[in-house]
Each structure stands twice: as structure tokens, then as C-alpha cells.
Chains A and B, each alone.
Chain A
């Protein structure tokens, strides 16, 4: 089955700096890669996603890049703000892969003032 590795497990940045979280996946058939943000005491919420036919996608301060050859994808947050502090999860989905989203282990992002 699919295996998703996520790094780093914790990340601390100064407000205004950029943050990058990286994930690798094992199944070359994976074709959908969402990113979820989980605030304290809440369930994960989708913030951005990318499909396998796209190399990069941006939404304001958030961007995701995908390298299918290397089987890795990354989340980029620019001009970080304190409200960006949360746990971020990457995930991978294989069409026909048993209907499952496989999640990474999460990254605790802390944006310091």
C-alpha cells in the first residue's frame, strides 16, 4: 500500500519568514495530494491540494509543488503569521487504491513573534 513520509516533525520560524514542509510517497499511481491544517482541539481542514497533472499550485501565501519523478511534494508558506501555527498533514490518494487517503505523520509549525 501507499506510504507517505513527512518532514520535519517540528518547525519553528520567525514571523514573516517562509516555512517549507516536505513529503514523499511510495506509490507511483498516487494522483491526488491534499494538505490539511489542524488547529488545536479541532479536526484537520483542507487548505490546498494538487493533482498529478499539475506541477505547482498557489493560493495567496500558500503554495504546493509536486515532483512526480522523484515522488515528492512540498508545502510552502510565505510571510508566516502567528495564526499559521498548527499541525500540517500531507496526504496521498490513489484512484482505485481502495478508497483511502494515506496521511503523513504531521508537522508542528510554530510561528514566533
Chain B
């Protein structure tokens, strides 16, 4: 099993450009998440999807949109990239939305906005 797969692994954007980060999981998990990781700030939740067909804002949703395309896939879109969105983005999934279930992370997308 591949687990959680993110594409692309690296991306450089110019300010104002748009792009979509893709995430897919093959573990039949119900819940999926997008985090960003910045130095000294840990992992901050951008958006999440508790189950197919639902999405909710996390701690830092401004400037982002998401789509839960199906149970496997959860994409993150930057409509107009800004330098403040330079970060490493991680997608994660969990079997259940509630309770003490393990979160599995992808390998990350390193995004630079110039």
C-alpha cells in the first residue's frame, strides 16, 4: 500500500499564480486533512474533511480552498498565491473522524512563492 500520496513534491509559484495540491489515500479512510508546517510553528490545520462530501475550516483557512473529490482524494487550491503561503504542506488521513485513531501523513509538498 502506498498510504498517503501527495503531488507535486516541490513547486515554485509567482505571486498571484494559482495551483492545486493533490492528495490521495488508499487506506479507505474517512477523514482527510491539510496542514502547513512553518519553522517554529509546528503543524497548523488549514482544512479538513471528516467524511466524503463534507469540508470544514481549520486554524488557518484564509487564501485556500479544498475539494473532497471522492473518498480517496482531497485537494487543496491556492487561487492567488502569496509569499506568506511559502511553506511545506502535508496531507493526512485518519480511519475515523472521531476518537483516538492514528493520522497518516504524506511526504509533503514544499511550496515557494516568489
Contacts and interface: CB of A to CB of B under 8 A. Distances in A.
Interface string B19-58: 0000000000001000100001111110010100000101
Interface residues of A, number: 28
Interface stretch (A12-20, A64-72, A75-83, A93-101): A93-101
B105 A105 contact: no
B90 A103 contact: no
A49 B100 contact: yes
A99 B43 contact: no
B106 interface: yes
Interface string B53-75: 00010110000000000000000
Interface in B1-34: 4, 31
Nearest to B51: A99
A99 B100 CA distance: 11
A98 B56 contact: yes
Interface residues of B, number: 26
Contacts, number: 61
A105 B40 contact: yes
Contacts of A103: 35, 42-44
Nearest to A46: B102
Contact of A89 (B43, B50, B102, B107): B43
B105 A34 contact: no
A102 B33 CA distance: 12
Contacts of A36: 103, 105
A42 interface: yes
A39 to B, nearest CB: 10
6 contacts: A1-B59, A31-B100, A32-B99, A44-B43, A44-B103, A49-B102
Given A6-B42, A99-B48, A106-B40, 11 more contacts: A41-B107, A42-B108, A43-B92, A44-B90, A44-B103, A44-B105, A93-B100, A95-B98, A99-B56, A105-B41, A106-B42
Interface of B: 4, 31, 35, 40-45, 48, 50, 56, 58-59, 90, 92, 97-100, 102-103, 105-108
Counting from the closest, the 3 A-B pairs by CB-CB distance are A43-B105, A32-B100, A105-B42
